[in-house]
Amino acid sequence: MRLSSLFTLACAIAAFVLSILCLLAGDKRSFLQNNDLLTLNISQIGHGNLFNTSDGDGGLLSTLGNDIQEGINSILNDITTDIASLLGLPDFFNVHATTFCQGTYSPNSTAHDAKKNVTECSKSSLGFHFQPTQYVEEHLPSGITLDDIHWPSDVTDAERTIKTVSRIMIVFYIIGIVFVGLAILTGLAILTGLASIFTDGRLSVFINWLVDILAFAFLGVASAVATAVIVIAVNRVNKYTDEIGISATKGGRFLAMTWAATAVMLLASFVSIVQCCAGRRKPRRYEKEGY
């Protein structure tokens, strides 16, 4: 039992670390930026098919075109032109569970080996809700509106849905982490023999299994909700990639991390229930004496 208890304890510790990292990723500019839920790329905004100026409609950036003394068509037709930068906007947003970060692509957003340069992160908060519509609107130059850049209302609608769902996700993460912490404590108690002071071996293992399975359940729900948030957001945004040039990509590393935490707690709960059913093995001297 000692070896299996050590295994379940190791699983709980691994799940605890992974879950904490899921919540804290992006807390600093240099901390786990690649472990975001999703990346919203607005560097190519203005290069979609809604910005056709051949019909005489100035459409996007007439003000900006005058400011930089350059024809609007030449700006829009050159896909290497970073219109987001011309508008004073970042190239991308890294959206994390409790914060978001922004930055630019180097050397440019269309380069095959473009690198992310994170320039700023918002303050981390458990009540965090990413609102790209509000941010973009507040940072557009004077004279340019969301209508000018054809910002889709569907994205704004998705923000409201995601706001509620993401808060549910955070609650389940926190509860799951609490139970994982309890699993670590019960695992340590069993491993060191402290649990036997208050309960027999089988009961203490049963309690450990109960905590493990609850931790698995809450982390599983949190991971499922996080996956739903990511899929909904990415699908909603990518509907407009060809039209206005914005796009979103899923955070593969975040998904791997959160589901890995869930999986190890499932494994721990399986080992715990096997321990509980098997019980403690009797010492050899009792077996020989027929007890």
Tell me the pLDDT band of 109, cut-offs 50, 70 and 90: low
Tell me the pLDDT band of 14, cut-offs 50, 70 and 90: very high
> What pLDDT is attached to residue 285?
46
Other Cβ atoms within 10 Å of 224 Cβ, number: 15
| Domain boundaries, position 52 | 2-281
> What pLDDT is attached to residue 258?
93
In a domain, 291, yes or no: no
In a domain, 290, yes or no: no
pLDDT at 198 over 50: no
**Alpha carbon of 213 to those of 78, 96, 192, 193, 257: distances in Å?**
55, 27, 22, 22, 19
Structural domain count, the chain: 1
> What pLDDT is attached to residue 67?
46
Give which of 98, 136, 103 is closest to 29, Cα–Cα: 103
In a domain, 287, yes or no: no
pLDDT at 279 over 70: no
> What pLDDT is attached to residue 291?
43
**Rg of the chain taking only CA atoms, in angstroms:** 26
Residue with tokens 């609650």: 171
Question: What H or E segment, with its residue span, contains residue 132?
Answer: helix 132-139
What own/partner pairs with CB < 8 Å and gap ≥ 24 does 160-166 have?
Answer: 161/232, 162/129, 162/130, 162/229, 162/232, 162/233, 163/129, 165/225, 165/228, 165/229, 165/232, 166/97, 166/128, 166/129, 166/225, 166/229
Omega before 90 cis (within 30°)?
no
In a domain, 288, yes or no: no
pLDDT at 8 over 60: yes
Say which DSSP state 35 is in.
Answer: G
In a domain, 38, yes or no: yes
In a domain, 236, yes or no: yes
Residue with tokens 């508008």: 87
Better pLDDT: 147 or 192: 147
pLDDT at 262 over 90: yes
Mean residue pLDDT of the chain comes to 75
In a domain, 286, yes or no: no
Tell me the C-alpha distance between 79 and 56, whole Å. Answer: 21
Better pLDDT: 55 or 120: 120
> What pLDDT is attached to residue 85?
63
pLDDT at 132 over 70: yes
In a domain, 253, yes or no: yes
pLDDT at 221 over 90: yes
pLDDT at 51 over 60: no
Q: ∠ at Cα 75 (69, 77), nearest 5°?
A: 150
Give which of 182, 266, 178, 174 is closest to 222, Cα–Cα: 174
> What pLDDT is attached to residue 76?
46
Segment 226-248, tens digit of pLDDT: 898 888 888 888 887 777 777 88
Tell me the average pLDDT across 105-112. 70
> What pLDDT is attached to residue 196?
45
